[in-house]
């Protein structure tokens, strides 16, 4: 499994395991834990969760039961909009660590831009970083203007931005901006909407003929083609799956290489189609959705 070096010098596995809505959103039980254990058994060491997902306990239990050392994992969690602010961010981290049964996380993210809370939230995160509780600091769903706002006040610059990115939403200007600032780009919902959405299979990028033709050529799945498109362009991916077959396939990306023409053909599928929340106003709705 390939690693990427973040700007702060720390290393992150390029393929992570997404945990949003395993089973259902906010589900936190034996099924969730067992699914994460399947991913660990398949070789995943980068696990992405969030306080809002409501499953940090299951993540922590799976890691404890794996019998592997904590240092072998790269664990990401996030501060939700209702938790943003200076003192409340410390409380959010305390609660996340208690649920995870850990004394630090590898990467702590601001889950969504909430502009009026950016300064106090980031200042609290910088203190958590100084104390070794958050080893790296990053963002999720931040637009260019949000990053510019943060850069005006940040003593520690973010090393990572996790955004919705798939063949129907390539976000090229934002990707180029992040890369120009030394911010690694990570893709949530990399295959184009997950089980949490009501998007029909035929309306997802995996149904595109150009992607299916590549999958047939390389004798891999359509999902593997899309993940490889990201990997070859230096992006981090955090696909979620609940079946052992797909969990393993999403990690098995070394046996083929897409040509430049094929990468460009997938780029050309862009429709600026957003399946998830809109960063322009998501925080307003998120304030009505507390951490479970």
CA 270/CA 166 separation, integer angstroms: 8
Radius of gyration of the chain (CA): 18
Is there a contact between 271 and 169 (Cβ–Cβ < 8 Å)?
A: yes
CA distances from 165 to 8, 37, 80, 188 (A): 24, 26, 20, 6
- Interatomic CA distance for residues 288 and 130, integer angstroms: 32
**Secondary structure of 80-111 in HEC code, one letter for each residue:** CHHHCCHHHHHHHHHHHHHHHCCCCEEEEEEC
Whole-number Å distance between alpha carbons of 114 and 95: 21
Q: Is 111 annotated as a binding residue?
A: yes
Task: Single out the catalytic residue among 53, 108, 160, 168.
Answer: 53
- The closest of 181, 162, 193 to 77, measured between CA atoms, is 162
Element at 201 (helix H, strand E): none
**Does 53 qualify as catalytic in the annotation?**
yes
Beta strand 11-13 with 160-164: parallel, antiparallel or unpaired?
A: unpaired
Q: Work out the number of other CB atoms within 10 angstroms of the CB of residue 275.
A: 18
Q: Is the four-CA dihedral 109, 111, 117, 118 of positive or negative sign?
A: positive
Q: Which helix (H) or strand (E) holds 185?
A: strand 184-188
Length of the chain measured in residues: 292
Q: Output the known binding site for substrate.
A: 111
Residues carrying an active site annotation: 53
């Amino acid at each position: 499994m390939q690693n990427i070096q973040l700007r702060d010098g720390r290393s992150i596995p390029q393929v992570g395991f997404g945990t949003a809505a395993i089973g259902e959103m906010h589900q936190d039980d034996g099924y969730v834990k067992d699914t994460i254990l399947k991913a660990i058994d398949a070789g995943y060491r980068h696990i992405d969760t969030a306080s809002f997902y409501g499953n940090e306990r299951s993540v922590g239990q799976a890691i404890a039961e794996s019998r592997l050392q904590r240092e072998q994992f790269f664990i990401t969690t996030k501060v939700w909009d209702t938790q943003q602010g200076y003192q409340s961010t410390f409380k959010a981290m305390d609660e996340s660590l208690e649920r995870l049964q850990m004394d630090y996380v590898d990467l702590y993210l601001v889950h969504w831009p909430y502009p009026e809370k950016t300064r106090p939230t980031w200042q609290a995160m910088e203190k958590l970083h100084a104390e070794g509780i958050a080893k790296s600091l990053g963002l999720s769903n931040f637009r260019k203007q949000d990053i510019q706002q943060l850069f005006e006040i940040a003593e520690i610059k973010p090393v990572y931005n996790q955004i919705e990115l798939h063949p129907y939403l390539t976000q090229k200007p934002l990707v180029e901006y992040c890369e120009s600032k030394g911010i690694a780009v990570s893709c949530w919902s990399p295959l184009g909407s997950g089980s949490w959405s009501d998007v029909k299979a035929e309306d997802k990028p995996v149904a595109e003929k150009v992607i299916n033709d590549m999958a047939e050529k390389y004798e891999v799945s359509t999902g593997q083609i899309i993940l490889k498109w990201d990997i070859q362009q230096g992006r981090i991916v955090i696909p979620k799956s609940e079946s052992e077959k797909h969990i393993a396939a999403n990690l098995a990306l070394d046996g083929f290489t897409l040509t430049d023409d094929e990468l460009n053909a997938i780029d050309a599928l862009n429709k600026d189609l957003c399946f998830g929340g809109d960063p322009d106003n998501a925080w307003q709705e998120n304030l009505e959705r507390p951490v479970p």
